[in-house]
């Protein structure tokens, strides 16, 4: 039975394109005021739970998590600035970016010269609202378009922020798609940003859709999907799962996956992990794609790649965080992302999962000279290169490199042929008794 949304509507049907489905989910998530804690996170997990069966975790305020402590929980109901003429200048109800995230409660009447110290704008982008936070230093403040601030006359302004910062909990959700083995592929997206479509409604929506797509697929790897607030959320998860992180063989952090920029991959701290090679292979066939070396600045990959864990986790995005003008502003809205870009990101991740699932190390059972392919009917089995997905060149490359030391991904890197073409050739050769699995083969 299909889930029904609280407003009586149903999630988009599977008959529409995957990009449209991801966009529709991002559209549902966009209005919610999220933070590193609070009801906005829970409301977001409620929506995601209609698409994938999430396990929800509540970690109490004050809990020690590695070198950090779970902070107090923040919830906001309303906030506004009213001018000398009684007109509303700023209203949280019109944009949840208008209030500095984690602002404490405040009510008072201030002259404009004092109020300015609590207002954040972007003079170089005078028409947009910036996104600002004050998670660990209690304060209050507003964000607004610089043009609007410039039009505010001198006088006294009524300021109200109705918010609570109290003991509560940090909330995160995860879903485990179980495979044949307990070796894991971790996929993580931060859930703490408010109305920012690319950063990171796009990542949350794509991850939930990807998890849903795996429900009917039998996999050898188990896939763990994590929806947690940035930094403190991943640190909390790592603290609570130290005894099992050794099971993670591959990992990706997702952010900013819905804009028109070319796809970008930031390598793990390892630099040459299997996930780094798989992403490089897929993006190597994408026009304009970028590969970046690891740096300890970014999103939660820097937690997973901290030296005490050093997990093979990279980051996938399109526009690189902090480099596009819409980043952390009200311009990162639903017009900034598109179904076609979300679908392209989904396709790339699916191709990477295919490599992770289908890579193996074959051994040529007739290694002295080329085996005669024609008398085995292999050329006919190519079916005009349509029925099998293999080509004559892929057959030759697989046979030549199948010495028990080259996996299919290694062959793809060496030959320059698409991984799936070589995988199809390997299946065909195996079916015809020319390949076996190398004795030392193990799940990567």
143 with 120, same domain: the answer is yes
Where does the pLDDT of residue 388 fall: very low under 50, low under 70, confident under 90, or very high at 90 and above?
Answer: low
Q: What's the number of CA atoms in the CB half-sphere (13 Å) around residue 164? A: 9
Q: Are 84 and 153 in contact (CB under 8 A)?
A: yes
My answer on whether 208 and 307 are in the same domain is yes
- 112: DSSP letter: H
* Sheet order of strands, 156-166 included: 88-91, 73-82, 156-166, 106-111
| Six token digits for residue 308 | 């005490």
Question: H or E segment at 203?
Answer: helix 202-213
Q: Quick one: 292 and 248 in the same domain? A: yes
> Region 269-285: what's the mean pLDDT?
97
- Domain CATH number, residue 179: 3.40.630.10
pLDDT at 260 over 50: yes
Same domain membership, residue 134 and residue 235: no
pLDDT band at 127; cut points 50, 70, 90: very high
Domain containing 103 equals 73-166
pLDDT average, residue stretch 121-147: 97
Residues of the chain with pLDDT > 90, as a percent, come to 89
* pLDDT tens digits along 24-54: 999 999 999 999 999 999 999 999 999 999 9
What's residue 381's pLDDT? 65
Which pLDDT belongs to residue 16? 75
Q: Are residues 220 and 135 both part of a single domain?
A: no
Structural domain ending residue among the three candidates 134, 166, 198: 166
- Burial bucket for residue 97 (CB in 10 Å: 0-12, 13-18, 19+): buried
7 pLDDT exceeds 80?
no
Q: Does residue 1 sit within a domain?
A: no
Q: Is residue 297 part of a domain?
A: yes
Tens-digit pLDDT profile for residues 285-331: 999 999 999 999 999 999 999 999 999 999 999 999 989 999 999 99
Question: Is 7 part of any domain?
Answer: no
Assess whether pLDDT exceeds 90 at residue 6: no
Same structural domain, 99 and 132: yes
Query: Of the candidates 166, 199, 222, which is a domain's last residue?
Result: 166
Give how many domains the chain has, as a whole number. Answer: 3
pLDDT of residue 442: 47
DSSP string, 204-270: HHHHHHHHHHTTT---SSEEEEEEE-TTHHHHHHHHHTTTTGGGEEEEEEE-S-SSSSPPEEE--SS
User: Using 50, 70 and 90 to split pLDDT, how confident is the model at 441?
Assistant: low
Give 441 or 382, the one with higher predicted confidence: 382
pLDDT of residue 375: 84
Rounded distance between C-alpha atoms, residue 80 and residue 100, angstroms = 12
CA–CA dist 185, 409 (Å, integer)? 17
SS3 264: strand
Domain boundary among 124, 139, 166: 166
- Domain harbouring 87, CATH code: 3.50.30.90
Question: CATH code at 379?
Answer: 1.10.10.10
So what's the pLDDT on residue 12? 53
pLDDT of residue 11: 53
- Please say whether the beta carbons of 242 and 66 come within 8 A: no
Q: What is the DSSP letter of 294?
A: -
Q: What is the pTM of this model?
A: 0.93
Q: What is the pLDDT at residue 232?
A: 98
* Main-chain phi, psi angles of 270, to 5 degrees: -65, -40
Between 441 and 164, residue with greater pLDDT:
164
Same domain, 47 and 177: yes
DSSP per-residue codes, 333-381: STTT--HHHHHHHHHHHHHHHHHHHH---EEESS-SS---STTTTHHHH
Cis omega (within 30 of 0) on the bond before 26?
A: no
Q: Is residue 301 part of a domain?
A: yes
Residues 175, 53: one domain?
yes
Do both 246 and 389 map to the same domain? no
Torsion of CA 333, 237, 314, 326, to 10 degrees: 20
Query: Sign (positive/negative) of CA torsion 262, 267, 271, 274?
Result: negative
pLDDT-derived band at 177 (thresholds 50, 70, 90) equals very high
Centroid of chain to Cα 294: 17
- For residue 37, tell me if it sits in a domain: yes
322 in the same domain as 206:
yes
In a domain, 383, yes or no: yes
pLDDT category at 378 given cuts 50, 70, 90 is confident
Alpha-helix runs per DSSP H in 366-435: 378-381, 383-386, 392-401, 408-415, 419-431
Whether 238 and 348 map to the same domain: the answer is yes
2 in a domain, yes or no? no
Please check whether residue 3 lies inside any domain of the structure: no
Q: How far apart are CA 58 and CA 42, in angstroms?
A: 10
What is the residue-averaged pLDDT of the chain? 93
User: Mean pLDDT across the stretch 341-352?
Assistant: 98
Pair 223, 306 in one domain: yes
Confidence of residue 126 (pLDDT cuts 50, 70, 90): very high
């Amino acid at each position: 039975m299909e889930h029904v949304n609280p407003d009586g509507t149903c999630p988009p049907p599977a008959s529409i394109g995957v990009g449209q489905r991801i966009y529709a989910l991002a559209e549902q998530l966009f209005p919610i005021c999220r933070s590193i804690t609070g009801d906005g996170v829970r409301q977001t997990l409620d929506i995601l739970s209609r698409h994938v069966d999430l396990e929800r975790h509540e970690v109490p305020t004050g809990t020690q998590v590695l070198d950090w402590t779970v902070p107090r929980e923040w919830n906001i109901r309303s906030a506004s600035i009213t001018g000398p003429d009684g007109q509303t200048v700023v209203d949280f109800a019109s944009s949840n970016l208008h209030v500095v995230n984690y602002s404490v409660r405040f009510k008072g009447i201030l002259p404009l010269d004092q109020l300015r110290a609590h207002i954040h704008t972007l003079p170089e982008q005078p028409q947009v609202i910036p996104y600002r936070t004050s998670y660990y230093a209690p304060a209050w403040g507003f964000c607004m378009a610089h043009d609007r601030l410039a039009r505010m006359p001198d006088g006294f302004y009524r300021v109200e922020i109705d918010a609570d910062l109290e003991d509560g909990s940090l909330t995160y959700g995860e879903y485990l798609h179980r495979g044949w083995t307990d070796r894991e592929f971790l996929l993580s997206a931060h859930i703490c940003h408010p109305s920012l479509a690319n950063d990171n409604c796009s990542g949350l929506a794509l991850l939930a859709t990807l998890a849903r797509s795996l429900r009917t697929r039998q996999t050898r790897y188990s896939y763990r999907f994590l929806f947690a607030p940035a930094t403190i959320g991943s640190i909390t998860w790592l603290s609570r799962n130290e005894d099992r992180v050794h099971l993670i063989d591959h990992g990706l952090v997702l952010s900013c996956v819905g804009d028109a920029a070319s796809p970008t991959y930031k390598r793990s701290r390892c630099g040459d992990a299997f996930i780094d090679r798989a992403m490089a292979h897929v993006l190597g066939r994408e026009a304009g794609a970028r590969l970046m070396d690891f740096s300890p600045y970014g999103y939660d990959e820097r937690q997973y790649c901290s030296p005490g864990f050093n997990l093979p986790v990279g980051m996938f995005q399109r526009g690189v965080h902090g480099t596009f003008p819409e980043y952390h502003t009200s311009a990162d809205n639903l017009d900034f992302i598109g179904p076609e870009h979300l679908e392209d990101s989904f396709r790339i991740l699916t191709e990477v999962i295919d490599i992770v699932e289908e890579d193996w190390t074959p051994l040529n059972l007739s290694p002295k000279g080329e085996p005669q392919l024609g008398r085995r009917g292999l050329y006919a089995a190519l079916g005009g290169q349509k029925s099998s997905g293999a080509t004559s060149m892929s057959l030759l490359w697989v046979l030549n490199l199948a010495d028990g030391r080259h996996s299919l991904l290694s062959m793809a890197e060496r030959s320059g042929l698409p991984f799936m073409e070589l995988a199809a050739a390997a299946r065909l050769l195996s079916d015809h008794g020319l390949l076996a699995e190398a004795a030392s083969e193990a799940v990567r």
